[in-house]
Amino acid sequence: MKQVQAETQKKKQKSLFDHIWDFFASVKVAIVIIILLAVTSIIGTIYPQENAIPSPNPQFYYADTYGKMGDLYYRLGLSDMYNSWWFLALVLLLAISLIICSIERVIPLYKSLKNQPIARKVIAIRGDRLYANQSEADQSRIDQLAEAFKKKRYKVRREGNALLAEKGRLPRFGAYIIHIGLLIIIAGVFVRLIPGAYYSGMVWLKQGERQYIEDVGFGLQNNGFTLEFYDDAQTRVKKYETDVAVYVGDEEKATKHLIVNEPLKFNNTLIFQNSYDPNPMFKRGKVELTDKASGKSYGTFDINFDDPKPSYQVGEYTLTMINYYPDIKVDPEKGGVYTNSRDPYNPGLQLSISKPGMEGQTQWMMPLAPFVEEMLGKEYQFKLKLVQVELFNMTGLHLQKDLGIPVVYAGCAVVLWGLVLCFYYQHRRIWARLEDGELHIGANTNKNWIGLNKEFNKLIATVGIDPVTFKPKAKKKAAQQAKQLDTPQSDAPHGKEGTEK
């Protein structure tokens, strides 16, 4: 950084843009942004975010569940923090910092590696941490070394009596490859902003139901849902699966037996088996009408609980629906009844039973509340018994269309590649120079000196030099001085590897 500042100070005045540039090019600023992101992310994990709460009304949920602190959390907008403008701004600041930091350093690094001198001063080679020499040598030694280096897959360049062998220059750029990967990931996340590139939604389907989802341009039909448990008490789910069909218009385009973790892909949209409604619904049933006292059966009728008919005929009896509550609840305060939802989870039927010559008798039927029925039904003449019933659970399918996913995955791959280059590979350079009949060989790497040392010893053995060991890192002040003296070693003014062993 200091050098950059020194450079810019030479130009009489710094413009606003220079200030902005320097701000984003600073590693300190980048670290501050990273830490700010980490710290603010913590805040968002104190209470669940709005997308994870089991309630559609966050304005009440936080206050009810977490008290005053929860209410404050909601009011400050922390309950949807990761979508807030300021968090987004932090992410974008990080992206800009990634770009400018990389530009600022990649270009000088690239230039210096490209223009590095082949012939280094002997005094510099002597200063290398790994150094060997041989007196009474001649040009043929350099030729031998060049051969040996080539065998070890070094790139060898020569200039007169000097030689530079280099291996693994790309790992020097590992950090910037990581940065590019991260930028690709961020770009992939923002792909969803393109109209039509993103859709996410839940579809709840009853048995046989078909729904058309406009945003993705097709409809889904539930052709059957199965639910299995590991135990009889039904506490631990084993699997839940839906036979799903995709429709465009009235034409069936695709079908799949959909299971968790294995989505169906259609039209760039993934259809996931996400969940199911744990409360089963009534579909169809057969109801038997009997005389309560004698138990004599008058016959049966079939009922569709989702859409019952206004009246049914059993033998000579007519059963007229006075009231039908698909999901009956009793109001404990007013004593009235009402339906809790539009779907037949807990049907309650109020029927009038009559036959020619007999006045209608009003009677309730509640298959899931036999006690209530019993209580009300002491005076009943008839008994209505559900003899057969078909229940089903609604299946919950999650639709996800995100054209950014491949971009994000590609970014991840680039990041991993960069990480491997950065941490598991190294840049090795070996210089050789013949001066006054003495051969000097010096080596440098950005990491793994032990490995380089082994290779170095094998290489110099080919010209008959005894093994050497690398010098320990010079301590603090001495090291800094050495760096300033020895320019080729710190060829990138901000080369991160400079501080590494």
Q: Which of 4, 29, 412, 482 binds other proteins (CB under 8 A)?
A: 412
12 interacts with other proteins by CB under 8 A: no
Rounded to an integer, what distance in angstroms lies between the CA atom of residue 327 and that of residue 366?
10
Q: Which amino acid is at 130?
A: L
Q: Write down the least CB distance from residue 307 to other proteins, Å.
A: 4
Binding flag, residue 426, other proteins (CB under 8 A): no
Cβ 18 to other proteins shortest distance, Å? 7
Angle between helices 85-114 and 16-25 (to 10 degrees): 90
Query: 463 with 134: CB under 8 angstroms?
Result: yes
- Quick one: which of 209, 243, 277, 306 contacts other proteins (CB under 8 A)? 306
C-alpha 433/C-alpha 156 separation (Å) is: 13
Residue 411 to residue 324: CA distance in whole angstroms: 57
Residue 246: exposed, middle, or buried by beta-carbon count in 10 A (0-12, 13-18, 19+)? buried
Taking alpha carbons only, the member of 218, 168, 170 closest to residue 427 is 168
Least separation, in Å, of the C-beta of 435 and other proteins? 34
Q: Cα(315)–Cα(353) distance, rounded to whole angstroms?
A: 12
Nearest approach in angstroms of CB 106 to other proteins is 13
Q: Which is nearer to other proteins, 139 or 279 (CB)?
A: 279
Nearer to other proteins, 451 or 467 (CB): 451
Residue 60 binds other proteins (CB under 8 A): no
Contacts of residue 404, defined as CB under 8 A and 6 or more positions apart, other chains included, come to 187, 188, 189, 190, 191, 192, 197, 198
Footprint (CB under 8 A) of other proteins, residues 191-210: 192-193, 200
User: Which pair of tokens denotes residue 162?
Assistant: 């000097």
Residue carrying structure tokens 């000088």:
108
Q: x/- binding map, residues 207-246, to other proteins, per CB under 8 A?
A: -----------------------x-----xxxxx------
Q: Which is nearer to other proteins, 134 or 274 (CB)?
A: 274
Q: With contacts defined by CB under 8 A, how many residues of the chain interact with other proteins?
A: 102
C-beta of 49 vs 116, nearer to other proteins: 49
Measured distance CA(188)–CA(197) in Å, rounded: 11
Is 300 a binder of other proteins (CB under 8 A)? no
Q: How far is the CB of 363 from other proteins (least distance, A)?
A: 14
**Which residues in the 438-497 window bind other proteins by CB under 8 A?**
472-473, 494, 496-497
Q: Of 232, 250, 307, 466, which one interacts with other proteins (CB under 8 A)?
A: 307
Using the rule CB under 8 A, is 49 a contact of other proteins? yes
- Burial letters 190-200, b for 16+ CB under 10 A, else e: ebbeeeeeebe
Question: Which residue type does 217 have?
Answer: G
Q: Which helix (H) or strand (E) holds 384?
A: strand 382-392
Task: Give the interface segment with other proteins, choosing from 59-67, 120-128, 163-171, 293-301 (CB under 8 A).
Answer: 59-67
Please give the residues from 82 up to 111 whose contact with other proteins meets the rule CB under 8 A: 82-83, 85, 88-89, 92-93, 95-96, 99-100, 103
Q: Would you give the binding string for other proteins spanning residues 241-270, x where CB under 8 A is met?
A: ------------------xxxxx------x
Which tokens hold the place of 420? 């491997």
